[in-house]
Amino acid sequence: MSEHYPTVSNRSEIVFAYDAVDANPNGNPLSGANRPRIDPHTDQAIVTDVRLKRYLRDQLQDDGHGVYIRNVKEDGDQATREDLLKARLKDLDLDDVDEDDIENAVFSQFLENSADIRYFGATMSVDMDDEKVDHLPDHFTGPVQFSPGKSLHRVMENEEYNSLTSVIATGDDKAQGGFDLDDHRIQYAFIGFHGLVDEHGAEDTLLSDRDVRRLDTLCWRALKNQTISRSKVGQEPRLYLRVEYADESFHLGGLDQDLKLDSEESDPIEELRNVRDICVDMSALLERLDGASDRIDTVHVVASDVLEVSVDGKTGGHEFLYDALESVVGSESVRVIDVYEDAKATAPEE
């Protein structure tokens, strides 16, 4: 374990939810038209964990953290994995390192310069003639993992977007044209993810408590800042909740499955168009937290100011949710995340 990276001491379980309005939250290129991924049996929208991690990597890079897996072009050419790997280790001069410390120096330098690997891991199978690379393992298993996200309800595509683009003229002499026909968007989706931070896996990538505190802001800001392309705009973070457990190797599991739309307080599924049309029932989730309150160290939480939730028939906004959490785990065990102040506190060290 590096002195610079005291690794995570507690396991955490994450529920992260965002919504999408008139957007394609995760197109499927194999569909032929990059249509939104939708479960054919339940009609729920699907967003892969790969899509979510890409948002997070892009935000890490924008924040000035070193990122290994990224799109880089130099002189018009796409950087190779070998190029990216060399860049992560360029600051290390083996002539300055004792022979017995080389392996640890390479390992620490790579992870220090690769925040995304500390979170999500990577396969390192790169055939390179480089002494530094020879000291890296073939694979890093990431201690932070997310499951694919699913909407809490069935969704519908808005075919009007596709028909609108199909009538835009492509030339002065044409009344209508055919460019950009692959514009498929869903009307509305409230999408929940489940994540886990494994305290034992953290030792393999030197994931620190500071990294995890950064994750509390990273998910939120990534959805704010990285969903600006034409098909992704219209997505907003609505709920982030990280349950940090006190007991080693313990977590409740599947907390995302305890979220559901409150059918009494939400509009009919066919009429959902934005966050003000829904109310999220959190009764089951809070009941489970209540049952395990003696195993919980801290609940780190932030909710949108326009999100409405219900607990046991009572409804309210984000302050209502925070009070409800305090009632089940104790006020000293709830930390409301200040996203932007915490982002400053976990920014790259100068």
Q: What's the pLDDT tens digit per position in 68-125?
A: 988 776 666 677 777 788 888 888 877 787 878 888 888 899 999 999 999 999 987 7
pLDDT of residue 73: 65
**Would 335 be classed as within a structural domain?**
yes
Q: Does 86 fall in a domain?
A: no
pLDDT value of residue 54: 95
Residue 71, domain member (yes or no) = no
- Residue-wise pLDDT tens digits, 312-331: 999 999 999 999 999 999 99
The tokens 């305290």 sit on which residue? 199
Residue among 208, 236, 164, 181 nearest 65 (CA)? 208
Inter-residue contact 266 to 278 (CB < 8 Å) = yes
Judge whether 332 and 296 are in contact, CB under 8 Å: no
- Write down the pLDDT at residue 99: 79
Number of domains in the chain: 1
Kindly state whether residue 350 falls inside one of the protein's structural domains: no
Question: Does the residue 235 lie in any domain?
Answer: yes
Tell me which residue of 208, 212, 299 sits closest to 251, measured CA to CA: 299
Q: What is the largest CA-CA distance in the chain?
A: 74
Burial class (CB in 10 A: 0-12, 13-18, 19+), 235: buried
Q: Is residue 265 part of a domain?
A: yes
Q: What is the pLDDT of residue 311?
A: 98
Q: Which of 234, 250, 243, 341 is nearest to 301 (CA)?
A: 243
Give the separation between CA 34 and CA 38, rounded to whole angstroms.
12
Angle value at C-alpha 161, between 155 and 162, nearest 5 degrees: 100
Which run of H or of E encompasses 287?
helix 283-291
Confirm if 296 and 10 have CB atoms less than 8 A apart. Answer: no
| pLDDT at 42 (0 to 100) | 97
Q: Around 223, how many Cα atoms within 13 Å sit in the side-chain half-sphere? A: 23
Closest C-alpha to 207, from 101, 282, 118, 80: 118
Burial 295-312 (b: 16+ CB within 10 A, else e): ebbbbbbbbbeebbbbbe
Residue 97 lies in a domain: no
19 and 275 in contact (C-beta within 8 Å)? yes
Q: Going from the first residue of the chain to its last (350 residues), give the mean pLDDT of each consecutive group of 10, the final group possibly shorter.
A: 68 98 91 88 97 96 91 68 81 79 87 95 77 82 97 90 55 48 86 97 94 97 92 93 96 97 97 97 98 98 98 98 98 97 90
Query: What is the model's pLDDT at position 130?
Result: 72
Residue ranges making up the domain that contains 241: 12-64+145-345
Residue 103 in domain: no
